[in-house]
């Protein structure tokens, strides 16, 4: 019974998000109200807010990766970079058939067209960078807050991951088949983490 309830909740959450994205794509983020989204999705406004606490969450939910959790939850003897490489390697190797490319690119377009959403993305990235810096500092010296080294490393990692995502989206937008874009992403992940671990003199180069 609990499993059925969870499935129904997930279906409702997905329906609300899909309806919101469709309306935002058709009319623009600022022109659509939360009331309109709730009505179109067939739910009460209070129900919508129980899944998405603010309007921007309808688009930005999931934008921020939990890299700090990945670092904090790594196994014994695993470095933070190794844990993050393994995570993004697994994402690149995941079954691409589960990815809704049309919805993904619509989401990118909706965000790109809205200054409010772009600001929200930047805020999410800033929070992620700070959380990652704290996790990196704790990995090196438990009980201590992030210093310059941890902050610089967190900035490098988050910028690298953002570049990987942007490159992947750009390939899809240019018409690259999903499977081919996924294979290219897998290679990009290895190159990117080689550069993070070894610097710009890595043997694989920067091309």
pLDDT at 199: 79
- Residue 101 and residue 96: Cα distance in Å, rounded? 9
Give pLDDT tens digits for 65-118. Answer: 899 999 999 999 999 999 999 999 999 887 666 678 888 899 999 999 999 999
What pLDDT, in 10s, does the model give residues 34-67? Answer: 999 999 999 999 999 999 999 999 999 878 889 9
- Global pTM reads 0.84
Using pLDDT thresholds of 50, 70 and 90, give the confidence band for residue 2.
low
Tally the C-alpha atoms within 13 A of residue 22's C-alpha that lie toward its C-beta: 11
pLDDT for the residue 97: 64
- Superfamily of structural domain 2-59: Homeodomain-like (1.10.10.60)
Which of left, alpha, beta for 50 (phi over 0: left; psi -120 to 50: alpha)?
Answer: alpha
Contact between 153 and 136 under an 8 Å Cβ cutoff? The reply is yes
The dihedral built from the CA positions of residue 75, 62, 135 and 193, taken in this order, carries a sign that is positive
pLDDT tens digit string along 114-141?
A: 999 999 999 999 999 999 999 999 998 8
- Tens of pLDDT, residue by residue over 67-76, are 999 999 999 9
């Amino acid at each position: 019974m609990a499993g059925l309830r969870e499935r129904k909740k997930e279906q409702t959450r997905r329906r609300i998000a899909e309806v919101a994205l469709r309306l935002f794509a058709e009319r623009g983020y600022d022109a659509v109200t939360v009331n309109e989204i709730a009505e179109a999705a067939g739910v009460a406004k209070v129900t919508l807010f129980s899944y998405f606490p603010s309007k921007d969450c309808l688009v930005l939910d999931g934008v921020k990766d939990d890299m700090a959790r990945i670092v904090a939850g790594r196994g014994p003897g695993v470095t933070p970079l190794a844990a993050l490489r393994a995570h993004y390697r697994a994402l690149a190797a995941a079954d691409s058939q589960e990815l809704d490319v049309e919805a993904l690119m619509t989401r990118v377009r909706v965000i790109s067209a809205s200054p409010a959403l772009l600001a929200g993305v930047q805020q999410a990235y800033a929070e992620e960078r700070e959380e990652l810096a704290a996790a990196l500092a704790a990995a090196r010296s438990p009980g201590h807050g992030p210093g310059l080294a941890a902050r610089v490393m967190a900035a490098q990692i988050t910028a690298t991951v953002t570049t990987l995502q942007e490159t992947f989206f750009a390939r899809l937008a240019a018409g690259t088949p999903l499977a081919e874009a996924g294979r290219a992403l897998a290679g990009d992940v290895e190159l990117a983490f080689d550069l993070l671990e070894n610097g710009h003199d890595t043997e694989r180069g920067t091309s």
